Structure 1
Amino acid sequence: MNKVRLISGLLSAMLLSGCASQKPIYAEIEPEFVGVQAPEFSYPAFNDGLVSQSVYIESAEEITRLSDDVKRDFYRYYNKKELANYSDVHRVSSYIGLLMDQFTYSQKTYTAQETIDNLGGNCLSLTILTTAIAKLAGVEVSYDLLNNNPTYALDEDMLVTSDHMRAVLNSGWMDANDTLFKVRGRITIDYFDTEGMMFAQNISPVYQLSLYYSNRAVELMLKKRYDEAFRFAEKATAIYPDNDSALISLAILHRRLGDSEVSESIYQYGLAKGLNQSPVFYRNYAGMLETDGRVDEIANLEEMYAQVKENHPLEWIRAGKRAHREGQYELAIKHFNKALKITPELTGLHLLSARANLALGRLDETDARLYQALSDAQTQGESAVYQRKLAKFRKFKKKSS
């Protein structure tokens, strides 16, 4: 089998792993833009008659359940007298840091308790454990997805690409020095230094839960346990219908289990909706058409994919960031503006444009972009980030004038 055929027909799923170092990092890293939802399209109907109905799937409660021993250990630490002046967020992060000193990174997806029992797990496992411990103290948790675009060959006929996920502990609102704004503290919990990774989107708790099931589906599929893989992927889509990894897994599973018609409908849906992993939908679909001898249809597929890329904001965001790195700031602004026309709700694009304008010395335009980001912020977390940045910039602008 030659390389072109191999790549065109492979699975590429969001197995949340793929980090290079084993040093835990606790840093305050802010998002660059937030994800959006595409318009609605007809959703594929899965053929669940292909697999067994009797597959055990953990509930959401089981995924974050901790043993009584772990709870007691946490509360003993949490209530130490020497920590009395520390915030809930810092006590939680400090406790997780102590646990992580004993952990070894692995590519396995575990529940919270399994992560402790195995003294390790992948990035998603750490977010699940963080969520479980944060719940004990009533601390709010949010999630960031980062894209570092690695690819791993995991068996003879399948590749899995990996994105990186981290949990963020959110503290209360506080007054920022010398400003009229309030800001919110953030402490990220991560295995690794994520410097250089591209922020992809904020992850909702619902999506984070869905990713547990889609990750497990990929792991089970690699072991050729297709009934279980199907059910876990199906569960992932029941929680979050546009989980890319789960849809790709279901497309491949339908094909392997004899229902190419549904498999094709899933690929078509992923492309038509322009999901984040649209290149993977395209490659798998093209490989399927080639295998079936439907070569004439590949040209139409390529045209469809070209339209998806043209109308996908991530393509313009990547082009804008590349132009910025190369010092082509005007071009970067043009690319970010194209992305904004497609998805004006991507408030972080104003931040990216502000950076390019600042590099060109356009202080008024930089101020306008930051203010627009703040005005369009859709969550308190976003608002806090943009408030802090605008306040900091205006202090700089005042000194520069």
Structure 2
Amino acid sequence: MNTGFLHGARLPVALILLVLAAGCASVPQSSQQHEADSNDLVQPPLPVPRLDLFQSRADVPSFDELTRLTPAQERQFFDWFNAPERVAVKPHRRIADYLETLLADVTFDDQTRGAADVLASRHGNCLSLALVTTAISRVAGVDTDWKLTTRNPVYSSDDGVVYSANHVHTRLFDPTYETRPGQITLRRPHVLVDYFSQRPKSGGFTLKHHQIIALTYQNLAAEAIADGDLDSSFHLSLKGLEHDPANPELYNILGLLHKRKGAWNTAEAYYRHALDVGGERLVTLRNLERLLLARGREAEARNVARRIVALPDSDPFPLIKLGDEALQRGHIQIALNYYTRARDLAPYLHEIHARIATVRFRQGRLGLARKSMREALERAGVSDKSKYKKIGKYPDLAKSTWP
């Protein structure tokens, strides 16, 4: 779910044809580990979810439902796809051309929607548009896959939930491509569909089908937390784990949910299981540290804090706190230094960009302040956008926005 556009901005769909020749390539060790099939891994014992704390939900959509078009939408597609003037174009290119037209007037928002809902409402996020691409390609008989370029962890900070951005793009494979005798093809010719960039990149790693499904439920579960619907988030998380029991973010979400419900033993078990499955992760370590501190287990919390410090990427939140303290003391440049370091670690956190905008306003550098406020707007949820928009119109308000 890339947040590189303002709410209400139009979504350009960037397309690039990649015709890849046969050749040799080595897969980095990290990619090999990530792409190992979760069914082949020996998983540690699962925590037992507290079903008694969450109301049942019968409305959890299946992935097939999320990637299904209405009959009218299918007819519209096939009328365009099978038009005589287009039949000479390869099927995967025709789909790409159709998407470029179809999604031109879709408005970005921060909700994950199924394919049919996106086309009916003309709203959606990056993952929603990947679901549209998958749905259309499926009815046309064209193979696709997804590439994930940025992780989508869920952070817990002072019992609030802070979301990072997750960018997905889709590859449409040429169904007419055939391997010649004796030829080894590492990657098939394809069109890369990137929903937020005029220059799509081919980086990231490929998701297997079960990981795609789990990622979709991960997004839905995180959004349900933001909406205060813990029951739906709980059942969406469990649904995602049915498809990918090696997804550490889903265990982290379940930890957050059980902590919110006061089941701290189960929350701790889920955090520790997420670490067992996914390795040392800042997201989960920070949540575990906070839980241990809240339970008065300070020595254990200090051990977790040392594990956090040892990670290659440090935690942005202490830097934000130090910046706030410096700003309160009137040390504007020191505060800016802390905020800039935090931004470099976590550029997806809108609060950091808003704080930098505040400092720039106080320095009288209005151009840089407006630029940072635009960055904050692009990454903020709906509830924060109105505040940031107001500050953008009335810069003096920024002086009292943060400490």
- State the alpha-carbon separation in 2 of the partners of residues 203 and 148 from structure 1: 12
Cα deviation per residue 1:199-227 (whole Å; 9 max; x = unaligned)? 44211122112222221111111121111
- Report the TM-score when normalising by structure 1: 0.65
Report the CA distance shift for 1:200/1:299 in structure 2 as closer, same or farther (over 3 A): farther
Any idea what SS the aligned residue of 2:47 has? coil
Aligned sequence identity (%) = 23
Deviations 1:242-284 (A, max 9, x none): 2233222111110111211111011111222334x81100111
Output one character per residue of 1:107-146: Cα deviation in whole Å (capped at 9) or x when no partner: 1100000110121311110111111100111000101000
Between the two structures, name the one with larger relative contact order (CA 8 Å, sep ≥ 6).
Answer: 1
Q: CA deviation at 1:61?
A: 2.2
* Equivalent of 2:15 in 9, 26, 31: 26
Question: After the TM superposition, which residues 63-102 of structure 1 pair with which residues of structure 2 at under 5 Å, given as runs?
Answer: 63-102=66-105
Aligned equivalent of 2:125: 122
Deviation (angstroms), 1:306? 7.0
Distance 1:273 1:302, change over 3 A: farther
Partner residue in 2 for 1:295: 298
Aligned to 2:190: 186
Deviation sequence 1:19-43 (CA, Å, 0-9, x none): 2484321125799853334653222
- Shift in Å at residue 57 of structure 1? 0.8
Deviations 1:133-191 (A, max 9, x none): 001110001010002889999998221112111111111474799x9655621111121
Q: Report SS of the residue matched to 2:189.
A: strand
Contact 2:115 2:128 in 1 (8 A): yes
Please point out which of 163, 168, 171 is paired with 1:165.
Answer: 168
> Structure 1 pair 213/296, CA: closer, same or farther in 2 (3 Å)?
same
State the one-letter code of the partner of 2:225.
M
Q: In the alignment, does 2:99 pair up with 1:110? A: no
Question: How has the CA–CA distance of structure 1 residues 156 and 49 changed in structure 2, closer, same or farther, with 3 Å as cutoff?
Answer: closer
**Structure 1 residues 138 and 214 mapped into 2: Cα distance closer, same or farther (>3 Å)?**
same
Query: Which ranges in structure 2 are unaligned for 5 or more consecutive residues?
Result: 314-403
Letter in 2 for 1:234: L
- CA gap of 1:203–1:49, structure 2 versus 1, over 3 A, is same
Within 5 Å, which residues of 2 pair with 1:196-207? 199-207=203-211
Please name the residue that 1:36 is paired with.
35
Offset at 1:69?
Answer: 1.0
Match of residue 49 from structure 2:
46
- Give runs of aligned pairs for residues 213-232 of structure 1, distance below 5 A: 213-232=217-236
Would the aligned equivalents of 2:13 and 2:99 in 1 still touch at CA under 8 Å?
Answer: no
Segment drifting more, 187-196 vs 40-49 = 187-196
1:10 maps to which residue? none
Query: Aligned to 1:189, what secondary structure does the other structure show?
Result: strand
Residues 43 and 301 of structure 1: CA distance in aligned 2, closer, same or farther (over 3 Å):
same
CA distance in 1 between counterparts of 2:177 and 2:216 reads: 33
CA contact (8 A) 1:255 1:263 kept: yes
Indicate how the Cα distance of structure 1 residues 248 and 184 shifts in structure 2: closer, same or farther if over 3 A, else same. same
Number of aligned residue pairs:
293
- Contact 1:19 1:164 (C-alpha < 8 Å) held by counterparts: no
Distance 2:167 2:237 in 1: 19
